[in-house]
Amino acid sequence: MKGFSIFPKRESYLPYVYLIYITAPLYNISQLENNFGLVFGFVLIGLFLLAYRQLYWVKTWGQFIFWVCVQIGIVVILSIWNTPYNIFLGFYPGFFIGWITDKKRFQTLMAIFITTIIGTIYVAYLNYPDLVLFQILLFLIVMIGSPFGFHNFNKQMQLEKELDKANKQVKELVQKEERHRIARDLHDTLGHTLSLITLQSQLVQKLIKQQPEKAVKETREIEAASRAALKQTRELVSAMRTLKVDEEIKEMEKIVTAAGINFTYQGPEDFSNLPPLTQNMVAMCIREAGTNIVKHSQATTCSIDIRLDNGIFSIVIQDDGTGIDEDITFGNGLKGMKERLTFIEGDFHIINEQGTCLNITVPLILNQKEIGI
């Protein structure tokens, strides 16, 4: 049949590997001496394998509960009728029960599963007094505990998928906001300059014959305005480039050193584990801080201390300059820094103590790399 597949391709080869555990009950049934028992046993194994395959494809809770109950029922029959050691087949339904993400449904089905398995072992023990109960109980503990492990693992995977989805949405929102910012910058900067160039060009056309000297002066002003527009365009394009923290630290060192300020850095060298958005925003804040130190601080030394502790990314930038007047309203640079940090749930505060200390903190969610029933 075209398009037919035994197991979903997303599961790769693992469903086939798990089938190795079916060999034990097949061997136990093959030891039966009567034909009816052989046929009946192999039919049950076939039905068990069908349920195993279907559980990879179910789309509704009703289908899922039906096929899990089929597997549990077959485990009970084979354990009591054939041999108690067939109870190990309970690992299969336990594995699928671990897929359940809904807490109430998981607890309900686990209660049914545990009660059924324990009851089956009890009945099997009555029928087989020579059964090594201690050995069975050890596997029972592992069998009952495995769905909890699968459940926690799948819950973590689900949370990480939701986190990836949220990060994607944040990235889209940031890109949208960046487009709006670029549009505002183009309107506020280039719009005015280009309008001025247009008016001056019209004036030159009128003056070129009557007042050529004044026309030449106007053309020079047009040239200056066009150069300013070109510079503004380059600045806008440069701002669109993704910045990296390590590169910006090196750039800051060059700037402050050129200004005669001693520079020291303490912290990691590699920031590749940081999300690109966090890197970009933090790097822009470091750039702004370096510019402020060179322009306003009159400092002789400057240091950066970066740490990652308990999920908090902290940057402390200290100089020994004149400090910031707390009565003066934040300038555009510090306002822009606050807006950027807001995007990534970060914040900063400034301490005037033996100069200026800028403390930036950004909370990090570390991604640890769905079947929801």
Same domain, 211 and 295: no
Cα 139 from Cα 131, distance rounded (Å)? 14
Same domain, 233 and 249: no
In a domain, 140, yes or no: no
What is the domain extent for residue 347? 245-363
Same domain, 233 and 198: yes
Which pLDDT tens digit goes with each residue over 233-279? 666 555 555 678 998 899 888 888 877 889 999 999 888 888 877 88
Q: Report how many domains make up the chain.
A: 3
Q: b or e along 65-78 (b: 16 or more beta carbons within 10 Å of the residue's beta carbon)?
A: bebbbbbbbbbbbb
Same domain, 283 and 305: yes
Segment 120-148 mean pLDDT = 76
CB 358, CB 283: distance < 8 Å: no
DSSP symbols for 320-356: -S----TTSPP-HHHHHHHHHHHHTT-EEEEEESSSE
In a domain, 142, yes or no: no
- Between 326 and 28, the more confident residue is 28
Cα 206 from Cα 124, distance rounded (Å)? 109
CB 100, CB 109: distance < 8 Å: yes
Which of 205, 223, 240 terminates a domain? The answer is 240
pLDDT given at position 262:
93
Which pLDDT tens digit goes with each residue over 209-227? 788 788 778 788 777 777 7
State yes or no: pLDDT of 170 exceeds 80: no
In a domain, 373, yes or no: no
Segment 9-26 mean pLDDT = 86
State yes or no: pLDDT of 316 exceeds 80: yes
DSSP symbols for 66-131: HHHHHHHHHHHHHHHHT-GGGGGGGHHHHHHHTT---HHHHHHHHHHHHHHHHHHHHHHHHH-TT-
Q: Are strands 312-319 and 356-363 parallel, antiparallel or unpaired?
A: antiparallel
Which of 215, 240, 265 terminates a domain? The answer is 240
In a domain, 295, yes or no: yes
